[in-house]
């Protein structure tokens, strides 16, 4: 059966509207021209804030949220088209951060009316920044092994423990986190979902410097931190089920798929000119370019598969893991290609070397390659758990 990958009349009109908005409103400092991805946007905070304000004025900050909470209530396809066009232009698509992407939908689904009233509007308006407190030194891929304790004391929980790899914690106002409230329960039980004010006494944030010299991640320490019981989301000891609820409407990773293709296009332009041209004439490097281009198209098709499932009211599971696994590993292969193209110059601390080092974290963040392979094996192929 033939598959039509083209737009319907509505989708084509919507795509034109999004493109026109980008053309008219995007700050020049953010337009990539095909040469930069979102990783290059750090440090241009003024332009990013300007862009966020314009997206907010359009009502597109929270595309999937219901309108009564300040969202756009877009369909799956409309979200996909918007994210695709934002990625093609090189402008940030998720201007609301973890607040819009993660905790907002969680509160809409599981939060109390008081929690919704307090937090949702501030998230939409960009008044607060959120971070995620999941991973711990001994509980990353095996998240249910977490040991940070929350002990009930009257109207508060007293929190002690540590989180790690916490993105943006040094800038955040609030954290949504999982803590163990019943140490005797099976590990997937006895976990509670809490909202923690990062300015509370006893919270210490220590940035971690990555291989590329950036401080994206942090360690966060909790020492007798008091968290009001009213900041609990869902039932006590049932936080695992709150935290793993499928809430995001757009899981296709189209932005990542387009991002790796744009990286490749940039390398191709460099390979055709300048001092790198001699390296690019190496037949092995030329074959690498061909392989990476085919893989970039595969990543895009995997994204289309996921959004197609969502349109049909199906919930992508291992299919979304395939997107994440393939695109993140492709990003590393493209970084390797960049190093091969530059030859010995790749050992200098230049753009190729920085990209190579930054690519290391892509197969760890958001669920490691090993975790994604396990999901694909058990849920996709039906293989027994090891």
Which residues are known to be catalytic?
250
Contact yes or no for 48/40 (Cβ under 8 A): no
Angle CA 61–64–67, to nearest 5: 80
Helix (H, G, I), strand (E, B) or coil at 128: coil
- Distances, alpha carbon 313 to alpha carbons 8, 63, 247, in Å: 19, 18, 13
Burial class (CB in 10 A: 0-12, 13-18, 19+), 383: exposed
Neighbouring C-beta atoms of residue 242, cutoff 10 Å: 21
Give, rounded to a whole angstrom, the gap between the first and last alpha carbons of the chain.
Answer: 37
Q: Where are the beta strands (DSSP E) in 92-202?
A: 130-133, 149-153, 156-163, 174-180, 191-197
Residues in the chain, total: 386
Contact yes or no for 41/30 (Cβ under 8 A): yes
């Amino acid at each position: 059966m033939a598959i039509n990958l083209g737009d319907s009349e509505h989708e084509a009109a919507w795509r034109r509207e999004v493109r026109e908005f980008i053309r008219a409103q995007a700050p020049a400092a953010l337009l990539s021209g095909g040469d930069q991805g979102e990783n290059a946007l750090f440090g241009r905070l003024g332009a990013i804030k300007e862009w966020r304000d314009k997206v907010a004025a359009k009502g597109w900050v929270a595309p999937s949220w219901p309108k009564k909470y300040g969202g756009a209530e877009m369909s799956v396809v409309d979200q996909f088209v918007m994210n695709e066009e934002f990625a093609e232009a090189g402008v940030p698509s998720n201007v609301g951060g973890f607040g819009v992407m993660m905790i907002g939908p969680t509160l809409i689904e599981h939060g109390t009316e008081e929690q919704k009233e307090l937090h949702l509007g501030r998230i939409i308006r960009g008044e607060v920044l959120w971070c995620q407190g999941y991973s711990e030194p001994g509980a990353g891929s095996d998240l249910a092994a977490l040991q940070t304790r929350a002990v009930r004391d009257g109207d508060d929980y007293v929190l002690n423990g540590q989180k790690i790899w916490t993105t943006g914690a040094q800038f955040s106002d609030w954290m949504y986190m999982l803590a163990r409230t019943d140490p005797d329960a099976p590990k997937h039980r006895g976990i509670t979902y809490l909202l923690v004010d990062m300015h509370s006494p006893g919270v210490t944030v220590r940035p971690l410097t990555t291989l590329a010299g950036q401080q994206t991640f942090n360690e966060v320490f909790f020492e007798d931190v008091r968290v009001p019981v009213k900041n609990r989301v869902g039932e006590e000891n049932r936080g695992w089920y709150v935290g793993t609820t499928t809430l995001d409407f757009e899981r296709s990773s189209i932005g990542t798929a387009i991002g790796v293709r744009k990286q490749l296009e940039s390398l191709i332009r460099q390979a055709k000119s300048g001092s790198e041209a001699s390296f690019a004439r190496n037949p092995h490097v030329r074959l690498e370019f061909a392989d990476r281009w085919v893989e970039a198209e595969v990543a895009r098709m995997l994204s289309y598969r996921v959004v197609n499932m969502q349109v049909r009211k199906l919930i992508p599971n291992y299919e979304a893991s395939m997107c994440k696994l393939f695109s993140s590993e492709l990003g590393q292969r493209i970084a390797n290609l960049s190093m091969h193209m530059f030859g010995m110059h790749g050992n200098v601390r230049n753009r190729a070397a920085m990209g190579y080092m930054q690519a290391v974290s892509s197969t760890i963040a958001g669920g490691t390659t090993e975790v994604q392979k396990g999901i694909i094996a058990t849920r996709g192929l039906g293989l027994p758990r090891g």
